[in-house]
Amino acid sequence: MAYMIQVDFKMNGPFGDEMADAFSDLAKSINEEEGFVWKIWTENAETNEAGGIYLFESKESAEKYLDMHRKRLEGFGIPEVNGKIFGINTKLTEINKGPIKS
Amino acid sequence: MAYMIQVDFKMNGPFGDEMADAFSDLAKSINEEEGFVWKIWTENAETNEAGGIYLFESKESAEKYLDMHRKRLEGFGIPEVNGKIFGINTKLTEINKGPIKS
């Protein structure tokens, strides 16, 4: 069963194209993570926040990734991370065309 | 340009099929909201939390929806809502197969 991760944290940039250049190798590596389906990279240059919305194939793979990602962000100098894992209500999500098929 | 909303809040259920029965009419109405593209309905019966991840066509439509939704949740007896709007880093999201096409 698929699970979501939502992550956000304070970051003073880079955003936009500069962020894409800085993190494209990291993005490619995320495609190789166990159970990974997709990620939407989020950013807000006005509030100095960034993060991601992820779909994983299972709760276990989502938990494993979030643990690793928290440590990675701490290594980037970002100790405070809002990170939550959620199950998905499939019936309601199907009504609203949510892209949860892997 | 597309924008995400992430929303979560404390809720003592219902979850699962019972949640789907309770909110299917609400879900149908969300399809009619201005600028709405999709919603993934999130739930966690262990932590008594629920919420949603949304894609909207513009920042303005996302802001308008989140304002309305906060008031609706307050009407449901849920005064404290974590709600954030984010832009999307398109280049990184494309690498990670994020479903942001409307």
Q: Domains in chain B: how many in total?
A: 1
B36 in a domain, yes or no? yes
> pLDDT digit string (tens) for A46-82?
999 999 999 999 999 999 999 999 999 999 999 899 9
Residue of B nearest to A33 (CA): B96
CATH number at residue A57: 3.30.70.100
Distance CA B49, CA B72 (A): 17
C-beta of residue A43 within 8 angstroms of C-beta of residue A63: no
- Residue A52 is assigned to a structural domain of this protein: yes
- Residue B69 domain-assigned? yes
Pairing mode, strands A49-56 and A3-10: antiparallel
Alpha carbon of B41: minimum distance to chain A alpha carbons (Å): 5
Q: How confident is the model at residue A102 (pLDDT cuts 50, 70, 90)?
A: low
Cβ atoms B29, B64 nearer than 8 A: no
Q: Chain A: which residues have CB within 8 Å of chain B?
A: 4, 6, 8, 15-17, 19-20, 23-24, 27-28, 30-31, 36-45, 49-51, 53, 84-89, 91-93, 95-100
For residue B100, is it within any domain?
no
Residue A73 lies in domain: 3-95
* Predicted confidence pLDDT, tens digits, chain B (102 residues): 999 999 999 999 999 999 999 999 999 999 999 999 999 999 999 999 999 999 999 999 999 999 999 999 999 999 899 999 999 999 999 999 999 985
B102 assigned to some structural domain: no
Helix (H) or strand (E) holding B84: strand B82-88
ipTM of predicted assembly, 2 dp: 0.96
